[in-house]
Amino acid sequence: MAESDSGEKTEEPTAKKLSDARKKGQIARSKDLGTMFVLVGAAMALLILGDSLVAEMAKMMKRMFSLNRMEVMDVHALFQVVSDSVSSIMVPFLWIHIVVVVAAFVGNTMLGGMSFSWEAMAPKASKLSPLAGFKRMFGVQAYVELIKSILKFFVVFVSAYLLLSSLFDQIINLSTENIPHNFSHAVSLLLWMFLALALSIGIIVAIDAPYQVWNHNRQLKMSKQEIKDEMKNSDGSPETKGRIRRAQYEASQRRMMEEVQNSDVVITNPTHYSVALKYDAEAGGAPVLVAKGIDEMALHIRTIAKEHGIEIIASPALARSIYYTAEPDEEIPEQLFAAVAQILAFIFQLNAHKKGKGSRPKPVAKNLPIPDDFRY
């Protein structure tokens, strides 16, 4: 049962899965969204720039039908006339082209963004397989596309029927209008009908775009085992992570041991716990814990302290308190200031005595002022 559960793809795709799919060109795309933008863009461009395009074409036709004898007989002159006429209609024509291209770009990148993948363009043997072709023809996606095509037909059919019904009187009255006003009126009606039909595809887009996002997400869903394998591959196996943690711990311990030689005093349990403290009298502030350890580490701290002539003071309660309440490179808790101050005062007086500047200090009191909450 556990194996079957781990094999079911019920989990949402991870960020890495989505990123890998994007690199392969697998992103949510709605063809109908791109089609609608292209058609709407073309309709809007013709509505806005159509008059200037027609005006330039009319000028070109008038010029072509008013050639003189010299222009007809001279190839170079005729070519110049044709060139001037064609160039005059290129400006509105190019603007219409630009609007359509921009609309196509926006419509095709609005869902899923812009993506370019060489892997998606690479030839695949599976695309040439007749069996795979039959599966695509009779698969779920094929039925979805069939339903969409039928729905598009009915949407466009109903939209066209409603448009023709509402504009029927205007269409009939075109025959009673004067030329060329009826021609411009007819073109205007056709363009507005074209725009309305293009916008009607938005009904399909409103259904298709969310479906494509859902279907893309469904195809990329992962099983729990796949997520575990991905985490293992990205973060490393537990054994590797354990070795990394051990190496990091050993490195931190080495750095901590190197700081023992710079400490002022080592307070011990005296066998199980050892803590090394440093106090900078010039800078002020609180004493800082530079190293701590138990058992073998505690013995190592004491050994380094002896090698560098650092005083070792036995105070079991204070050693345990500092060990459990402070971390290396951190100041000791304020509640332990009084107890540590007595230890440091003894150390400074002892160092002065060794230099012949004072009498030998009294030993540190066994019962140091340690709050009950800090006794371990």
Give the integer Cα–Cα distance in Å for 8 and 22: 23
Q: Which domains does the chain have, with CATH numbers?
A: 27-114+126-219 (no CATH), 255-374 (3.40.1690.10)
256 pLDDT above the threshold of 50: yes
Give the integer Cα–Cα distance in Å for 37 and 329: 63
Question: pTM for the whole thing?
Answer: 0.52
DSSP letter string over 29-66? --HHHHHHHHHHHHHHHHHHHHHHHHHHHHHHHHHHTT
pLDDT tens for residues 349-359?
888 877 777 77
Q: Which long-range contacts (CB under 8 A, 24 or more apart) does 226-229 make?
A: 226/9, 226/11, 227/11, 227/14
- Please report the pLDDT score of residue 38 as a whole number: 92
Q: By the 8 A CB rule, do 267 and 275 touch?
A: yes
Q: What's the mean per-residue pLDDT of the chain? A: 81
Task: Name the token pair of 282.
Answer: 């010039």
119 pLDDT above the threshold of 80: no
Strand partners, 293: 274
Give the integer Cα–Cα distance in Å for 280 and 291: 16
Residue 115 burial by Cβ neighbours in a 10 Å radius (0-12, 13-18, 19+): middle
Question: What is the four-CA torsion angle of 176, 181, 187, 193, rounded to 10 degrees?
Answer: -60
According to DSSP, the β-strands at 288-294 and 330-331 are: antiparallel
82 pLDDT above the threshold of 50: yes
